[in-house]
Amino acid sequence: MRLRIRDLREDNDLSQADMAKLLKCSQQTYSRYESHTTEIPLESLIFLAQYYNTSVDYLLGITKTKKPYPRDS
């Protein structure tokens, strides 16, 4: 499985430290998320999907469709 969080971060000109601050974790932990050596908590995946306006499936490389799913009201 190829995570897309690194590509999205770089496309948005953000550093790992920037993302770590948003996720309230260390830069080292975020780096491990990108390298897939540490599981990303579900809450963080949801945050990233909302932040990048995409779906968790896209972040995880399950789909090539970047468009997010419709959200429930």
pLDDT tens per residue across span 12-37:
999 999 999 999 999 999 999 999 99
Residue 59's pLDDT is: 94
Please tell me the pTM assigned to this model.
0.87
What is d(CA 27, CA 32) in angstroms, rounded to the nearest whole number?
9
Domain extent for 35: 5-59
Supply φ then ψ for residue 32, to 5 degrees.
-70, -30
Number of domains in the chain: 1
In a domain, 17, yes or no: yes
CATH number at residue 20: 1.10.260.40
- Of 56, 42, 52, 62, nearest in space to 14 by CA: 52
31-68 confidence digits (pLDDT tens) = 999 999 999 999 999 999 999 999 999 999 999 988 88
If one counts every other C-beta atom within 10 angstroms of the C-beta of residue 58, the result is: 19
Give the separation between CA 39 and CA 45, rounded to whole angstroms: 10
